[in-house]
Chains A and B, each alone.
Chain A
């Protein structure tokens, strides 16, 4: 019996099979499709690429970008690297955790938003910076951060 997830996953995987070293593009595409990597899709990747399940699982867990659990509706990623530290990034990180009531890597109870940390967004001359659902924001202030928090968790 194949689930709907498996069916979709097969279609996604087959679109990338012509690539050399297709594993990462496939994992990215699956995550874009489902918002995370459902466990049952990993054996399909292994089968399609003719590699072991352990290898696929190893890759899926090695990279910070891939998630085996469902995520919040929004993702707020704060830069915690040195250039943003120099501009008060640490204080903003604490504020975000406090306001959202979660730690980095966690999702708010209502599933609204996942808070993530990153080490550098390449926005180092206009820190502190962050990314909201792939959209960069810079020169963050406590007020700007609060506005983002209010937006993602009404």
Chain B
């Protein structure tokens, strides 16, 4: 009998290890043979730990399962999919999963993350095989044609980046995977690395073939020990199976990779700071140009891509760029794993084509707040993203539409707040966070953020609020234009959106008018 208990860090944080142990013990007591598979998460985090039994009628899920509930599950005959208050039914029939278009996350939660046989049986390695068959130039063109844009935040076309590196001549080139995932409200990279690590490895190997890079690094934040362990083991197994290393199957291409661990610095998610960190230095942002594509890691041409950008590539190669491009709207092609987080009833990962509205995501799919109170604000795109009021819930999830609404989609995180939130405190936090994480290179970022927090304290204290609000806005202008990277440059997004959309939290309307 096969039972699935996710080994995903969120499931573990909710007791999955104890649940797995309890199932093992209870089965032993009853003399029932059981094989427990630690799968990835399906992404329905409010149901974690989500336990699944493999029955003749398909996999039947139960959740959220606490260790104490396990003996009851046995009494209900959950090995046969028996009735129980926690019974969810077949996961794929659940509306939350049914409404998704899972391209990057097609296997996550279904397979044993570290089984290469499982990976192959569920369509894995088809992309790599095709890349090897069609060669580097056609591989790059396939990615260009897919319309895939960087999922790390900036939205730069992935294929164009690859083409630049492919066209740059050098003895040594690198593929660097940005797995620093520092944005609050995001966990797609983590879920991918823990739930389907071979998909990322395959994407990186394809990038290597396409650009002529023979070495890859995955830079994973230290806050993700489970992802680090999963990736290290997956790399080891991939190497053993011969799909990493010298001469990939049936070709002359070589590609190998290493997992590196960050050290707790948000700014190291910025690509050039990440490269400095990989080189062993302080993670400080480099001025561009030169682009990493020309002068990157150890001075060599380097592709640096987010986990999800790279993990989207196997599908694109296997099914063709056009198949990916068919999804989406405008210049946002394909799918985005959107992460519903914070105070939300149905939090988790929802992969869907671009174009769905913010309101559909928060209200229909997310089910509103977990607290049951009204939604007051949602922050989209991490700590540097704007706060949106309900009035803007019609905004479609699309790079350009969010930019037009003075926001950004970033890495696709949506953090929901109920009506108990005070937006002045959130604006202050944005400054505080910037001050805490600043790499120190630019004065507006390093000093301006401290001044910003102090000035907001004055507004809160009722000290000359009109003038101080104007000062905050001025400070934001200085940060926007005087910062080398988006940490200093985008901190104004959360601050100014909080002031613009929630003026009532910053004092009377008169103060605001005075600040205009």
Is B261 touching A125 in the complex (CB atoms < 8 A)?
Answer: no
Counting CB contacts under 8 A, is B263 at the interface? yes
Q: Give bound CA distance, A84 to B264, whole Å.
A: 18
Q: Give bound CA distance, A137 to B340, whole Å.
A: 19
Counting CB contacts under 8 A, is A55 at the interface? yes
Which one of A3-11, A58-66, A145-153 contacts B?
A58-66
Q: Give bound CA distance, A137 to B418, whole Å.
A: 23
Is B264 touching A82 in the complex (CB atoms < 8 A)?
Answer: no
Counting CB contacts under 8 A, is B222 at the interface? yes
Counting CB contacts under 8 A, is A78 at the interface? no
- The contact string, 1 if C-beta is below 8 Å from chain A, for chain B 224-242, is 1110000000000000000
Chain A contact residues: over half helix, strand or loop, or mixed?
Answer: loop
Contacts of B187 on A, CB cut-off 8 Å? 122-125
Is A123 touching B264 in the complex (CB atoms < 8 A)?
Answer: no
Q: Give bound CA distance, A27 to B224, whole Å.
A: 18
Is B277 touching A24 in the complex (CB atoms < 8 A)?
Answer: yes
Q: Closest residue of chain B to A140, judged by CB?
A: B13
Nearest chain B CB to A42's CB is how many angstroms away? 13
Total residues of chain A contacting the partner, CB 8 A: 44
Contacts of B340 on A, CB cut-off 8 Å? 125
Q: Give bound CA distance, A135 to B10, whole Å.
A: 11
- The contact string, 1 if C-beta is below 8 Å from chain A, for chain B 350-367, is 000000000000000000
Counting CB contacts under 8 A, is B321 at the interface? no
Q: Give bound CA distance, A55 to B189, whole Å.
A: 31
Contacts of A126 on B, CB cut-off 8 Å? 10, 13-14, 45-46, 48, 347
Is A21 touching B279 in the complex (CB atoms < 8 A)?
Answer: yes
Q: Closest residue of chain A to B226, judged by CB?
A: A136
Counting CB contacts under 8 A, is A74 at the interface? no
Is A86 touching B9 in the complex (CB atoms < 8 A)?
Answer: no
Question: Which residue in B181, B264, B413 is a CB contact (below 8 Å) of A63?
Answer: B264
Given that A118-B223, A119-B182 are known contacts, is A24 also in contact with B260, CB under 8 Å in the complex?
yes
Contacts of A137 on B, CB cut-off 8 Å? 13
Is A27 touching B343 in the complex (CB atoms < 8 A)?
Answer: no
- The contact string, 1 if C-beta is below 8 Å from chain A, for chain B 273-290, is 000011111110000000
Is B278 touching A21 in the complex (CB atoms < 8 A)?
Answer: yes
Q: Give bound CA distance, A83 to B189, whole Å.
A: 17
Given that A24-B280, A62-B265 are known contacts, is A86 also in contact with B421, CB under 8 Å in the complex?
yes
Nearest chain A CB to B65's CB is how many angstroms away? 14
Nearest chain B CB to A84's CB is how many angstroms away? 8
Contacts of B437 on A, CB cut-off 8 Å? 119
Is A59 touching B343 in the complex (CB atoms < 8 A)?
Answer: no
Is A86 touching B417 in the complex (CB atoms < 8 A)?
Answer: yes
Q: Give bound CA distance, A22 to B298, whole Å.
A: 12
Question: Which residue in B223, B278, B347 is a CB contact (below 8 Å) of A125?
Answer: B347
Contacts of A131 on B, CB cut-off 8 Å? 223
Given that A64-B263, A125-B45, A126-B13 are known contacts, is A82 also in contact with B383, CB under 8 Å in the complex?
yes
Total residues of chain B contacting the partner, CB 8 A: 61
Residue in A27, A58, A124 with the greatest tally of chain B CB atoms within 10 Å: A124
List residues 314-358 of chain B with CB under 8 A from any CB of chain A.
339-344, 347-349
Question: Which residue in B186, B261, B416 is a CB contact (below 8 Å) of A122?
Answer: B186
Counting CB contacts under 8 A, is A114 at the interface? no
Counting CB contacts under 8 A, is B164 at the interface? no
Is B184 touching A125 in the complex (CB atoms < 8 A)?
Answer: no
Chain B contact residues: over half helix, strand or loop, or mixed?
Answer: mixed
Counting CB contacts under 8 A, is A102 at the interface? no
Q: Closest residue of chain B to A127, judged by CB?
A: B342
List residues 107-123 of chain A with CB under 8 A from any CB of chain B.
118-123
Nearest chain B CB to A41's CB is how many angstroms away? 15
Contacts of A73 on B, CB cut-off 8 Å? none
Is A22 touching B280 in the complex (CB atoms < 8 A)?
Answer: yes
Nearest chain B CB to A76's CB is how many angstroms away? 14
Given that A65-B264, A125-B45 are known contacts, is A20 also in contact with B416, CB under 8 Å in the complex?
no
Is A81 touching B263 in the complex (CB atoms < 8 A)?
Answer: no
Is B426 touching A21 in the complex (CB atoms < 8 A)?
Answer: no
Counting CB contacts under 8 A, is B266 at the interface? yes
Counting CB contacts under 8 A, is B190 at the interface? yes
Q: Closest residue of chain A to B340, judged by CB?
A: A125
Counting CB contacts under 8 A, is B183 at the interface? yes
Beyond the given A28-B222, A49-B280, A123-B187, could you list 18 further A-B residue pairs with CB under 8 A, ordered by the A residue number?
A19-B258, A21-B279, A23-B281, A58-B281, A64-B264, A64-B265, A65-B222, A82-B415, A83-B185, A83-B413, A84-B184, A86-B341, A86-B415, A87-B342, A122-B186, A124-B347, A125-B339, A136-B9
Q: List 23 A-B contacts (CB under 8 A).
A: A23-B280, A24-B261, A24-B262, A24-B263, A63-B264, A66-B263, A81-B383, A81-B433, A82-B184, A83-B415, A85-B417, A118-B223, A120-B183, A120-B223, A121-B9, A122-B223, A124-B347, A124-B415, A125-B340, A126-B347, A129-B13, A136-B10, A136-B12
B binding-site residues for A, Cβ under 8 Å: 9-10, 12-14, 45-46, 48, 181-187, 189-190, 222-226, 258, 260-266, 277-283, 298, 339-344, 347-349, 370, 379, 383, 413, 415-418, 421, 426, 429, 433, 436-437
